[in-house]
Chains A and B, each alone.
Chain A
């Protein structure tokens, strides 16, 4: 039934559905009628446009927030990556123990001439120490 009828044509809808407090319009007329006596002291929002500080404050706040995020992010990133790449104190001590303090470069030197520094006497001494029989040593050295 409602489908064919234009609901906006209903006169009851044309009335504003609001009340006002009791005696409001009498008080309103007194207040408004007193405006000339107060002079033209207009309320601040009517007279003054918002100051530059007020207008730019939201943008400054956003810029500051962005700066704080970038700084905090960079600091966090540095700390995280630094921990992964750097050597911890324990590892530093571990590696320091392996490197001779008096001749740290000897760890490289040993590798360079390893095939020429072992003499026959060294080999014999090693074989004796490992319990190899004399016959076997004699056989190997005379070969």
Chain B
């Protein structure tokens, strides 16, 4: 079902049906979007529940001045960032490093099914600063265009390109050290 059809159903007063269509169309894509930032399946699952609750409550305020999928991605990305910031604060209060925690989660993840290079890549991404991490993941794994990422993050394309380039070089250097 296209975004236009979903919104048409919603505007016809069938809000719950429209929401279920959103879930059918986007839940899997948004799961992988979230999963590429958080380092465990359980965290991604909890976060996805929060994201769709937010989508349901914010749907009446969607005015159609943005593309629907960028609006959804913006909600998902903001919720994911809030989650990561909460984790960072919790880690700081318990005098632990969030990077170390995330690396441990990657190592202990029972659903990790990649090669050693993919493990090193995942850890290197987890260590990137927030903005570089966002743009790298959306570009490298999800293959989103800079224009779409710009709409989702509300940042200029030029700034995103610079951040991606820096992140790319950092990760390349990290991988070179290991392989």
Contacts and interface: CB of A to CB of B under 8 A. Distances in A.
Interface in A129-143: none
Contacts of B16: 36-37
Contacts of B140: 8, 14
Interface of A: 2-3, 6-8, 10, 12-21, 25, 28-29, 31-33, 35-37, 40, 42-43, 45-46, 58
Contact of B56 (A7, A21, A40): A40
A50 B171 CA distance: 37
Given A32-B27, A42-B53, A46-B53, A13 B117 contact: yes
B113 A7 contact: no
A25 B31 contact: yes
B165 interface: no
B113 A43 contact: no
A19 B35 CA distance: 10
A29 B113 contact: no
Contacts of B88: none
B175 interface: yes
Interface in B114-140: 114-115, 117-119, 121-122, 140
B5 interface: no
A14 B19 contact: no
A111 B94 CA distance: 71
A7 B111 contact: no
Contacts of A16: 32, 35-36, 141
Contacts of A35: 19, 52-53, 56
B3 interface: no
A18 B111 contact: yes
A18 to B, nearest CB: 5
A78 B112 CA distance: 60
Interface string B92-125: 0100000000000000010111110111011000
Contacts of B114: 15, 17-18
A14 B20 contact: no
10 contacts: A7-B117, A7-B175, A13-B118, A16-B32, A17-B113, A18-B113, A25-B27, A35-B52, A36-B19, A46-B50
Given A8-B171, A43-B50, 11 more contacts: A3-B176, A8-B172, A15-B141, A16-B32, A21-B41, A28-B48, A29-B24, A32-B52, A35-B52, A40-B53, A40-B57
A14 B23 contact: no
B137 to A, nearest CB: 9
B122 A17 contact: yes
Contacts of A58: 93
A33 B19 contact: yes
B28 A25 contact: yes
Contacts of B141: 14-16
Given A8-B171, A18-B111, A33 B28 contact: no
Interface string B15-48: 1100110011001100110011000010001001
